[in-house]
Every structure is written in C-alpha cells, then in structure tokens.
A and B are shown apart, each in its own frame.
Chain A
C-alpha cells in the first residue's frame, strides 16, 4: 500500500536501509573522503543536495519518460545537478573544492543517486521521493562523518584540524591511510548487523 506521505521513506535511509551499511552503495567516495571530517561534511552536503534534487525532478517527470530512454534521461538530470554543485562549490569554497577533487564530479556515477532514481523516484510521488532522497543523503552523511571522526581522530589526533588528544599522543597513521577506511567500514557494517541480530547473511 502506497500512502501519499510516508515518513518511513525518510527514516529508512538513516538506519534500516542505510545506503552504505545496508545497500552497500557509494563506497568509493566514502572510502576516499572519510580521512578528514571537514571534507566529509562538505561531501555529505553536496551529495545530499544532488540526491534530493534529482529525486524530485525524476519523480516529477516519471510519467512522461518512456521506459527505454529513462537511464539516459536520469543520467542527464543527475549530471546537471552535479555540475551545478561543482560550479557553486568552486565559486564559494575553493578550498573544499580542492580537497574533494575528482570525487565531486564523480557523484554523477555514484550508484546511490542512480539507484534511488531507478528504484524509488521513478515509481513514487514527489513528496515521498523527496523524503527518500533526504533520508538517504543524511544516512550517507552520518556514516561518512562518523567514519571521518574515527579515522581523523585516531589517525591524525585531530578532529576538524583541532587536536583532541593530549600532546604526547602518537597518531596511529594506519587509520588515515586507505586500509584504515576498509577496516572502519567493515566494523561499522558488522556493528549494524550485530545490533539487528542478523548474523547470518
């Protein structure tokens, strides 16, 4: 049964169907950017913006788009929003633009965005698609920021550039290097599964 407004669409993205921990999508920017808290926040906001906008537009035009051209239409719409974000970040926060580097334009091919367009927005009404995009975006942002807090905190001894440990703390470098990202995401997924009591696949 489909309701006009269903807030489950919002909450499911944050925990139950979290795009990272449950759907296992969008891991590439997650692993790459989560070495720094401030970059992660920027990435999360940019990503949420693109996801919400593309979900709304795709949901609006879902009845006019013939099934056989839907993928190119989705990609064009997503690419447009990504480019708008790219220009805006470059204009207003050049430092963030420099740090996010290639991962900002790469939101175009982020599987969460296309995945939500295909699986949700093309089948549901505008309000629900908006809620879905917002929930998924916030879910992604929470995980990437949480990972960054762990990795930057342990690996560099700082959070958002400010030291969080006593001066004689020697940073555990491994965490901020690529293998640390895999380790943390593995533990997070295991944690979610343990909490939900789903030990078996």
Chain B
C-alpha cells in the first residue's frame, strides 16, 4: 500500500468519526433531558400506583440498597417502596414492592421479566398481584408451600410465582428490624 493511500484513509476516517461524534453529541444534548423526564414520570407513575395516597416520594440510598420513602399529604412517612430482583424461570424478575408502616405489603408491580408467555408471564396480571395486598411476612408463602400461606400460585408457573413470593419475603426479613415511620 502506498503512503498516500494510507494517509488518505486516515484523513477520511478522522473526518467521518469526528463529524459523527459531533452530531451525536448534539442529539444527546437535545434528547437527554426528555429521556430523564420520561424515566422520572414512569417511576412516579408506578410509585403512585403502589401508594395512591402517597404525595411525595423521596429516594434514599443506604449502603447498596436504594428505596423510596413515601410521604402522605401531611408529610408523614407512610411507607417505603423497594426495587428488588428475584431469580425466576427465565432469568431475574425485577419488581417494585411497597411496604407500609405495619410491615404489610401495600402493592407489587413487576418491572421486567423473562418468564414464559402465557404461563409465567401471568405474574404481571392484577389477578396474581392483588393477592399480595395487606399480606404480612407471616403469611407470605404460596398456599401449596406452607399452610399459613395466602398466595395462590399460577397454574403451570409455580417457579415464577414462588420467585416473586420468596423475593419479597427475603426483603421483608432483611428490613424487619428497621423502623419505617
């Protein structure tokens, strides 16, 4: 290869990459506030669905755990919302769980999962998730696993159902000595 060709190639690559880099920087500048806003809105919407009476959600970081402290209209602390992951049938299930002052579950929302469509994927349906409302740690088992349990597992998707239940119980065991309000 001749010297001239090599230099020509270097110049073209340099020009193309710097132009593209410049363009991308501009697009990033234009879109990133919007992306941030969308993420915040999404988070707020989910929080509000779990704690409808919550007025303010404050992000707290404690060691490697992050959670939202929920305040009501009178600025009292009424609970917390945690994001946890639990190993299901097709990988990790990411979910948000709200816990109130009496250590009862306020609500559960599935953020992301990889369970089988039509079977395990039913963990996102209200029919399954509504069972968790007002359940404390002592009843947080599948009915078929423990006589004290109050949660019906999904037909054909015991592993996915169990993953949700166990993930939340693990979290509640970890925080049961903390004071929420």
Contacts and interface: CB of A to CB of B under 8 A. Distances in A.
Given A83-B27, A173-B117, A176-B117, A73 B16 contact: yes
B117 A177 contact: yes
A68 interface: yes
Contacts of B39: 94
B101 interface: no
A68 B16 contact: no
Interface in A131-152: none
Contacts of A26: none
The size class of the interface chain A forms with chain B is 20 to 34
Interface residues of B, number: 24
Nearest to A61: B16
The secondary structure that dominates the B interface is: helix
Interface in B1-46: 1, 5, 8-9, 12-13, 16-17, 20, 23-24, 27-28, 31-32, 34-35, 38-39, 42
Nearest to B8: A66
A177 B90 CA distance: 13
A77 B20 contact: yes
Interface of B: 1, 5, 8-9, 12-13, 16-17, 20, 23-24, 27-28, 31-32, 34-35, 38-39, 42, 116-119
